[in-house]
Structure 1
């Protein structure tokens, strides 16, 4: 896993299998189906090289239509775009994974995805699910495979049982939740860390923090731009979500400034181990390190 110098929207990181993964993409979590088509199409036309969705988001079909429209309008080919989707928790298990992967491809209108992820480590299921992921990868239907929301311990357990090490771990990451031990482990293991909810989730309370507002004013940028740039300078892949074309454009305008050492230290000092997706706590019984 190797990230190159930060220079523009087409920057990539090299995954452990040699695949080039864009550093910046559009996330569509909580994007209503009616909004997803235009958001995805607009992002592609603005130069976004990556789109991230999931079956659980309920918008794969609309994302697929947005991809079709966006590529046509931009005069680009399928190979110019990196597409990620994820397996829903209720679909885990070996045969179920294979069946539901094909269903995702059909909804997206694609012959392959660039990255397929296990959405959560469902206790009692994730090991056999990963075996199916290895088959999908070996069959060439996904250029890379990985996981979401795996802790260091769960990742170690998975690697011990696997023939193929996950290439990506997509986790919640922002100044309030930095998980430094996990970040170091992933870097040391050659697994690319990807940030979901990089802007701190819904409500915008993180972006209202005085530290972030001060840094944004200093650079003449928005709070969102500061957070996205922070992800990039931390070596992460990041997928900020918006369905508004003006914000989609603004979120990609992060290559004409740099956060200095003092900025980076101030943002790092905001760590609180605070999740912004509070609903996750009600699922603690469901996810775990069991096979």
Structure 2
């Protein structure tokens, strides 16, 4: 599996398994399936209510914990709530540590929440800090105050909204761009794209595989979700081909700067450049 180096020196896989909207009762099975297919980056969140299933799947895999990169997210506002929430996540997932914890969205007191995450790094409870759904102005406020630099911003990113403005900002500040919904929930506007279809035929891949490979080659970490084994395996089978510069340019031209989710509204400014 290809990896990217975070600004603290940690290695993070460029492709992971997303668990959003996987019900807690089904999470262990789904994550075990993903682990068996080769995934080592697993993305969960307090809000998803499935940290326990992720932890169970990792523990029962028989694979050393240090071979995984487990990310969770906190939606809690302020220092005390966030600090307590980290401990609850560790208990829920039966983890000694999380590789990374993200602030899930720009909650009212995200600067104090960030301080709680910095203290958790010092205490060995987490190894890296990131944010999610932050626009560049909100992220700049974090950067201005941080003593532990954020490593990642996880934002809606797919063929229809490639987040080129945000990508430039993150690259400038030595942060990793991570995509949630990298397939746009398999929206017809993406999966029916003619350029994707042509490239899929050329490389004997699916449009989804072409789309994911494109994002990875653009320097974006992707965490697609799938529960059917066929798609779990397809989504990780991306490393036996590479798109040419000309093909990537064709795909860049498909960018409509269009959010398929419209959330959070504060991200709308990133469509203007």
Smaller-chain TM-score bracket: over 0.9
1:1-291 matched pairs, under 5 angstroms: 9=1, 11-69=2-60, 71-72=61-62, 76-88=63-75, 91-122=76-107, 124-201=108-185, 203-278=187-262, 280=263
Q: CA RMSD in A?
A: 1.6
Indicate the SS of the match to 1:17.
Answer: coil
Does the 8 Å CA contact 1:118/1:147 hold for their aligned counterparts?
Answer: yes
Matched residues in 2 for 1:202 and 1:100: separation? 32
Whole-angstrom distance in 1 between the partners of 2:207 and 2:25: 27
Unaligned stretches of 5+ residues in structure 1: 1-8, 285-291
Q: Partners in 2 of 1:145 and 1:101 — Cα distance?
A: 12
- Please list the CA deviations of residues 159-216 of structure 1 after superposition, one character each: whole Å capped at 9, or x if unmatched: 1122222011111111111121210111111011111111112545411222211221
- Deviations, residues 229-276 of structure 1 (Å, cap 9, x unaligned): 111101121111111122111111111111112221121111112111
Cα distance between partner residues in 2 of 1:178 and 1:49:
25
Stretches of 4+ aligned residues off by more than 6 angstroms: none
Unmatched 5+ residue regions in structure 2? 267-273
Q: Contact between 1:201 and 1:277, CA under 8 Å: does it hold in 2?
A: no
SS for the counterpart of 1:40 is: helix
Distance 1:32 1:219 in 2: 34
Secondary structure, aligned partner of 2:184: coil
Q: What's the secondary structure of 2:247's corresponding residue?
A: helix
Aligned length: 267
User: Does the CA contact (< 8 Å) of 1:169 and 1:191 recur in 2?
Assistant: yes
| Higher deviation after alignment, 194-203 or 214-223 | 194-203
- Normalised to the residue count of structure 1, the TM-score between the two structures is 0.87
